[in-house]
Structure 1
Amino acid sequence: MKEDTKLSRSLSLFSVVLFGFAFMAIGTVFSTYGVASQLSHGMVAGSYVLASIVMLFTAYSYGQMAKAYPISGSAYTYSQKAISPHIGFLVGWAILMDYIFIPMVNYLLFGIFFSAAIPEIPSYVWILLLIIIITFINIKGVKLATGANVLIIGFSIFFIILFCLFSVKTILQGTGTGMLVNMEPFINTDEPLKFIVAGAALLCFSFLGFDSVSTFAEETVNPKKNIPRAILIITIIGGLIFVIVSYFAHNVWPDYASFKDPDSASYEIIELVGGNFLKTLFLIMYAAGVVGSAMSSQASAARVLYAMGRDGQLPKKFFGKLHKKYKTPVNNILLISILSLSSLFLSLTLVASFINFGAFLAFTFVNISVIVLFFGRQKKRSLKGIICYLIIPLIGGVLDIWLLINLDIHSKVLGSIWFLLGVLYLAFLTKGFKKRPPELRLEETETA
Structure 2
Amino acid sequence: MSQATTPERASDVPSAPTLKRVLGVPALVLFGLVYMVPLTVFTTYGIVTEMTGGRVPLAYVITLVAMLFTARSYARMSAAYPYAGSAYVYTQRTFGGAIGFLAGWSLMLDYLFLPMINYLVIGIYLEAAFPGVPAWVFILGSIAVVTILNVVGIVSVARANFVIIAVQTVFILAFVVFGSASLAGREVDPLAPFVGDGSVEGVGVLFAGAAVLCLSFLGFDAVSTLAEEAKDATRSVPRAIMITTIAAGVIFIGLSFLAQLVFPSNEFADVDSAARDVMLAAGGEFLAVFFTAAYVAGAAGSALSSQASVSRIIYAMGRDGVLPKRVFGRLSARFQTPVVAILCVSAISLLAIWFDLALLSGMISFGALVAFAVVNLSVIKHFFVDRRERAGAAVVRNLVLPLIGFGLTVWLWTSLSAETFIVGLSWLAVGIVLLAIVTRGFRRPTPMLDLKES
Q: TM-score, normalised by structure 2?
A: 0.91
| Alignment of structure 1 residues 291-330 onto 2, 5 Å | 291-330=300-339
CA contact (8 A) 2:208 2:412 kept: no
Confirm or deny that 1:161 pairs with 2:170: no
1:36 to 48, 56, 73: 48
> What secondary structure is seen at the aligned counterpart in 2 of 1:209?
helix
Deviation at 1:335, TM superposition (A): 1.6
Is the aligned partner of 1:271 residue 2:283? no
1:174 matches 2:189: no
SS in 1 for 2:38: coil
CA separation of 1:354/1:203 partners in 2, compared to 1, >3 Å: closer, same or farther? closer
- 1:99–1:413 distance in 2 versus 1, CA, 3 Å: same
- The residue identity in structure 1 corresponding to 2:413 is L
Query: Structure 1 stretch 109-118 or stretch 318-327: which is displaced more?
Result: 109-118
The CA distance in 2 between the partners of 1:230 and 1:110, in whole Å, is 28
8 Å CA contact retained: 1:353, 1:414: no
The equivalent residue for 1:227 is: 237
**Aligned-residue offset at 1:97:** 1.0
Cα separation, partners in 2 of 1:187 and 1:351, compared to 1, 3 Å: closer
Give the secondary structure class of the aligned counterpart of 1:321: coil
Task: After TM superposition, give the deviation of residue 113 of structure 1 in Å.
Answer: 2.7
Partner of residue 387 from structure 1, selected from 396, 420, 428: 396
Given the superposition, is the C-alpha separation of residues 199 and 417 from structure 1 closer, same or farther in structure 2, using an over 3 Å criterion? closer
Residue number in structure 1 paired with 2:75? 63
Per the alignment, do residues 115 and 61 of structure 1 end up closer, same or farther by CA in structure 2, a change over 3 Å counting?
A: same
Change over 3 Å in CA distance of 1:32–1:338 after alignment to 2: closer
Q: Select 2:219's aligned residue among 199, 209, 223.
A: 209
Q: Aligned residue for 1:243?
A: 253
1:421 aligns with 2:430: yes
User: 2: CA distance between counterparts of 1:350 and 1:200?
Assistant: 15
Give 1:48's aligned residue: 60
State the shift of 1:198 in Å: 4.2
User: How much does 1:404 deviate?
Assistant: 1.6
Q: 2:263 aligned with 1:253, yes or no?
A: yes
Q: Tell me the distance in 2 between the aligned counterparts of 1:200 and 1:350.
A: 15
Judged with a 3 Å threshold, the aligned counterparts in structure 2 of structure 1 residues 170 and 66 are, in CA distance, closer, same or farther, namely: same
1:144 matched to 2:151? The reply is: no
Residue 112 of structure 1 corresponds to 124
> Which one of 71, 74, 95 corresponds to residue 83 of structure 1?
95
Contact 1:76 1:92 in 2 (8 A): yes
Shift of 1:26: 1.5
Which of the residues 402, 409, 431 maps onto 2:440? 431
Q: In 2, distance between residues paired with 1:170 and 1:117? A: 23
Instruction: Tell me how far apart the structure 2 counterparts of residues 105 and 399 of structure 1 sit (CA, whole Å).
Output: 25
Q: Which amino acid aligns with 2:53?
A: H
* Aligned-pair CA distance for 1:435: 1.7
Aligned position for 2:10: none
TM-score, with normalisation over the residues of structure 1?
A: 0.92
Residues 364-404 of structure 1 deviation map (CA, whole Å, 9 limit, x = unaligned): 11001000000000001123111111111111111111122
In structure 2, do the counterparts of structure 1 residues 418 and 3 end up closer, same or farther at CA, with 3 Å as the change threshold? Answer: farther
How far does residue 261 in structure 1 lie from its aligned partner after superposition? 4.6
Instruction: Give 5+ residue unaligned stretches, structure 2.
Output: 1-12
CA contact (8 A) 1:176 1:252 kept: no
Runs of at least 4 residues of structure 1 off by over 6 A?
Answer: 188-191
What is the count of residue pairs matched by the alignment? 440
Measured in 2, the distance between the counterparts of 1:96 and 1:236 equals: 24
1:435-446 to 2 correspondences below 5 Å: 435-442=444-451, 444-445=452-453
Aligned counterparts of 1:136 and 1:165: Cα–Cα separation in 2: 36
How far 1:257 sits from its partner (Å)?
A: 4.5
Letter aligned with residue 82 of structure 2: P
Identity across matched positions, percent: 42
Distance 2:185 2:104 in 1: 52
Higher mean alpha-carbon deviation, 34-43 vs 364-373, is at: 34-43
| 2:104 corresponds to which of 76, 79, 92 | 92
Q: 1:52 to 1:353 in 2, by over 3 A?
A: closer
Give the SS at the match of 2:212: helix
CA 397–174 in structure 1, closer or farther in 2 if over 3 Å, else same: same
Q: Is the 8 Å Cα contact of residues 70 and 218 (structure 1) preserved in structure 2?
A: yes
Bigger drift between 301-310 and 40-49 goes to 40-49
Instruction: Report the CA distance between 1:324 and its aligned residue.
Output: 1.5
User: Which deviations, in whole Å up to 9, do the C-alpha atoms of 1:43-94 show, x marking residues without a partner?
Assistant: 3222211211011111010000000000000000000011111100111111
Q: 1:130, CA displacement in angstroms?
A: 1.3
Cα shift at 1:349: 4.7
Following the alignment from structure 1 to structure 2, what is the Cα–Cα distance between the partners of residues 413 and 3?
46
* 1:239-261 deviation digits (Å, cap 9, x = unpaired): 1011111222233333x355555
- Does residue 373 of structure 1 match 2:378? no
